[in-house]
């Protein structure tokens, strides 16, 4: 099945799940609450702004997760509830009844299960695994299993398992002591569960929020964070946040810190800009350094001008070579498929893309990249990048494919993370410190209107399915623009290093 067809099926499933959220509290409602209580509340409100359509990238991720679960369960010797493949409508109550009948029989693993408590609380665990120990079922009981197409267990996984364990308590009269998370690398992680735990309290908080939403309680004040970009309510919440001049518009603000600011009467960015540092330090979760950062960011947002903190420690005018680095990866094939580097020497620039036409070529492009940059890693050469991904990718590829001549180790010693330099040097009048936001503020424009890391992943995945060469060219153009944007930022910081008047610096 193509990427587009899988995405289309995901759209239909999302529409169906949205329609059911008012009627039932389920795993998706719990996840919505843990991600953002405002999103759950907006789902339950019948009037107001419409949600944004789910992005193609998020549709594909959901489709990938479903395919991964199906593939993993197909490999197991699981006993089904007998509902798979049926064309007749099956109510949640009937499915829950059939699940319990199957649990009484005691198969080692059950898939396509549904747990319910009354008419409104349901869960669809990816699987149930039989365990020894007395319950209402006999000499055995069941524990929940979740299957995740990633490499780590999240807090949401633990809370989700706890919710399923609470429903299992209703069904079998026993709360399972643990649950399991099956990950993409084939590992099985056992997660201890307790009835009285922070996870249980979060489940109860989510359930109360759902009940309040159904009763028409006001939608909670939104909070802006990095996860908002993939939320269906992002546009509506961002509009409200700007009207409120909410402190969470400041990059890096944590929800708990924002809430503490509101309780202290600091409810807008303008108020935050005028607040004395000593007052902020007295607010829980804010130290002296963070208080100074928040005040500077609030002043930048309120004035529309940058607030300088230190002279940037960047100098691209030296005679030594400067390299501008950017990696592209695709999680579904667990590969870095493109390593791009813009090399500036003797006043000349040249971009080099190292592209894997298929995931199996990752090692080859890694070795070619090391060969290209090795002669340049001398003296004061700087290798500029933005954020932490490039350093992590270099370590990962070195571990996976080797570094026999120590080039990767030398490369790490020449890296300069411009995001860190930017954070320590200046507060910009921006709601995000992403490379896209910063470089566009400086006047740089990407070639395509839809250019993004997510779009590049979709292009590469579509190339693997279709063989359309234009998709590979789009990936390379996007990566080249990322390298150019990194160079634009480095040059601007370098210019500010010498051209910034002393009185402009607040520290």
Helical H runs in 328-468?
362-373, 389-401, 407-414, 418-425, 435-441, 453-466
The pTM of this model reads 0.86
Residue 14's contacts (CB-CB under 8 Å, 6 or more residues apart) are: 54, 59, 62
3-214 with 322-504: one CATH topology? no
Could you please state the CATH topology (level 3) that the domain comprising 322-504 is classified under: Nucleotidyltransferase; domain 5 (3.30.420)
Higher pLDDT: 20 or 259? It is: 259
Computed on alpha carbons and rounded to an integer, the radius of gyration of the chain in Å comes to 26
The secondary element (H helix, E strand) that includes residue 352 is strand 348-355
Q: What is the pLDDT of residue 55?
A: 81
Q: What is the pLDDT of residue 293?
A: 94
| CATH match of 245-305 with 1.10.150.20 | yes
In 3D space, the residue among 326, 346, 321, 347 whose CA is nearest the CA of residue 337 turns out to be 326
User: Per residue in 272-323, pLDDT tens?
Assistant: 999 999 999 999 999 999 999 999 999 999 999 999 999 999 999 878 899 9
Note every long-range contact of 354-361, with CB atoms under 8 Å and residues 24 or more positions apart, other chains counting: 355/472, 355/475, 355/476, 357/472, 358/464, 359/330, 359/333, 359/334, 359/335, 359/464
Share of the chain above pLDDT 70, in %: 91
Name the pLDDT band for 71 (thresholds 50, 70, 90): confident
Is the distance from CB of 460 to CB of 330 less than 8 angstroms? yes
Residue 180's contacts (CB-CB under 8 Å, 6 or more residues apart) are: 129, 143, 144, 145, 146, 188, 189, 190, 191
From the options 3.90.320, 1.10.10, 3.30.310, 3.40.50, give the CATH code of 3-214.
Answer: 3.90.320
Q: What is the pLDDT of residue 7?
A: 47
* Domain residue limits, the chain: 3-214, 245-305, 322-504
Mean pLDDT value across the chain: 89
């Amino acid at each position: 099945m193509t990427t587009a067809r899988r995405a289309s099926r995901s759209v239909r499933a999302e529409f169906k799940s949205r329609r059911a959220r008012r009627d039932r509290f389920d795993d998706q409602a719990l996840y919505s609450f843990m991600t953002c209580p405002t999103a759950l509340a907006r789902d339950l409100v019948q009037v107001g702004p419409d949600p944004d359509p789910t992005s193609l990238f998020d549709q594909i991720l959901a489709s990938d997760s479903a395919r991964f679960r199906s593939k993993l369960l197909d490999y197991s010797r699981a006993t089904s509830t007998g509902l798979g493949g049926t064309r007749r409508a099956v109510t949640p109550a009937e499915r829950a009844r059939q699940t319990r009948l199957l649990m009484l029989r005691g198969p080692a693993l059950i898939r396509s299960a549904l747990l319910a408590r009354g008419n409104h609380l349901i869960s669809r665990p990816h699987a149930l695994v039989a365990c020894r120990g007395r319950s209402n079922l006999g000499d055995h009981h069941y524990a929940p299993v979740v299957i995740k197409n990633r490499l780590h267990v999240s807090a949401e996984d633990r809370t989700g398992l706890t919710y399923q364990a609470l429903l299992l308590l209703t069904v079998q009269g026993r709360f399972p002591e643990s649950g399991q998370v099956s990950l993409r690398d084939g590992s099985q992680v056992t997660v201890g569960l307790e009835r009285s735990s922070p996870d249980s309290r979060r489940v109860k908080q989510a359930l109360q929020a759902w009940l309040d939403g159904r009763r028409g309680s006001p939608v909670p004040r939104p909070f802006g964070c990095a996860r908002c970009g993939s939320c269906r309510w992002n546009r509506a919440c961002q509009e409200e946040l700007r009207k409120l001049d909410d402190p969470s518009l400041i990059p890096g603000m944590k929800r708990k810190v924002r809430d503490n600011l509101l309780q202290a009467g600091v409810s807008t960015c303008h108020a935050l800009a005028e607040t004395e540092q000593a007052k902020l330090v007295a607010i829980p979760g804010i130290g002296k350094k963070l208080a100074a950062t928040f005040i500077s960011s609030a002043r930048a947002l309120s004035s529309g001008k940058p607030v300088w903190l230190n002279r940037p420690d960047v100098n691209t005018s030296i005679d030594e070579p400067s390299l501008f680095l950017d990696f592209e990866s695709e999680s579904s094939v667990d590969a870095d498929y493109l390593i791009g580097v813009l090399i500036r020497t003797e006043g000349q620039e040249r971009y080099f893309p190292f592209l894997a036409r298929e995931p199996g070529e990752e090692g080859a492009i890694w070795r070619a990249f090391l060969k290209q940059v090795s002669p340049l890693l001398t003296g004061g050469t700087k290798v500029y990048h933005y954020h932490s991904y490039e350093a992590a990718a270099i370590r990962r590829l070195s571990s996976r494919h080797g570094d026999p001549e120590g080039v990767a180790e030398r490369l790490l010693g020449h890296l300069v993370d411009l995001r860190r330099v930017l954070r320590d040097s200046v507060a910009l009048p921006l709601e995000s410190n992403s490379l896209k936001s910063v470089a566009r503020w400086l006047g740089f424009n990407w070639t395509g209107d839809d250019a993004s890391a997510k779009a590049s992943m979709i292009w590469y995945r579509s190339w693997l399915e279709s063989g359309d060469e234009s998709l590979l060219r789009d990936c390379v153009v996007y990566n080249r623009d990322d390298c150019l944007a990194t160079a634009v930022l480095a040059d601007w910081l370098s210019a500010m290093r010498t051209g910034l008047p002393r009185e402009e610096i607040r520290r």
